[in-house]
Amino acid sequence: AQTVTQSQPEMSVQEAETVTLSCTYDTSESNYYLFWYKQPPSRQMILVIRQEAYKQQNATENRFSVNFQKAAKSFSLKISDSQLGDTAMYFCAFQTGNQFYFGTGTSLTVIP
């Protein structure tokens, strides 16, 4: 069975600072994808970043980057220059084949 664990239920960061959200996963699959999704109070799910397991290079999208450690099965999200609009729930997700698994989420608050 695949599992995704987010061990930080809540986090806060000062505006303009950097914050890292943790995610670990467990799988015996060799081919998979990892994602971070953002869910603001509007409830809309928004893709932040994705990582292909066979790529060693860490994905980046503007202020968002990941630290993908395949051997450790770790996939953390770093948000640089945090903005008030980054306040949201963040979900780590794992996909293999057509199955998709989400973590329980981290609630991030950006403090002005």
Partner 1 sequence: NAGVTQTPKFQVLKTGQSMTLQCAQDMNHEYMSWYRQDPGMGLRLIHYSVGAGITDQGEVPNGYNVSRSTTEDFPLRLLSAAPSQTSVYFCASSYSTWGLGQKRFFGPGTRLTVL
Residue numbers of the site for partner 1 (CB under 8 A)?
4, 31, 33, 42-47, 50, 52, 91, 93, 95-105
Q: Which is nearer to partner 1, 14 or 60 (CB)?
A: 60
Inter-CA distances, 99 with 19, 22, 67, 75, Å: 29, 22, 23, 18
**8 A C-beta contact, residue 94 and residue 71:** no
Dmax (CA) for the chain in angstroms is 42
Q: Which is nearer to partner 1, 42 or 112 (CB)?
A: 42
Provide the minimum distance between the beta carbon of 15 and partner 1 in the complex, in angstroms, as a whole number. Answer: 27
Q: Which is nearer to partner 1, 7 or 99 (CB)?
A: 99
Provide the minimum distance between the beta carbon of 86 and partner 1 in the complex, in angstroms, as a whole number. Answer: 18
Provide the minimum distance between the beta carbon of 6 and partner 1 in the complex, in angstroms, as a whole number. Answer: 8
Provide the minimum distance between the beta carbon of 100 and partner 1 in the complex, in angstroms, as a whole number. Answer: 5
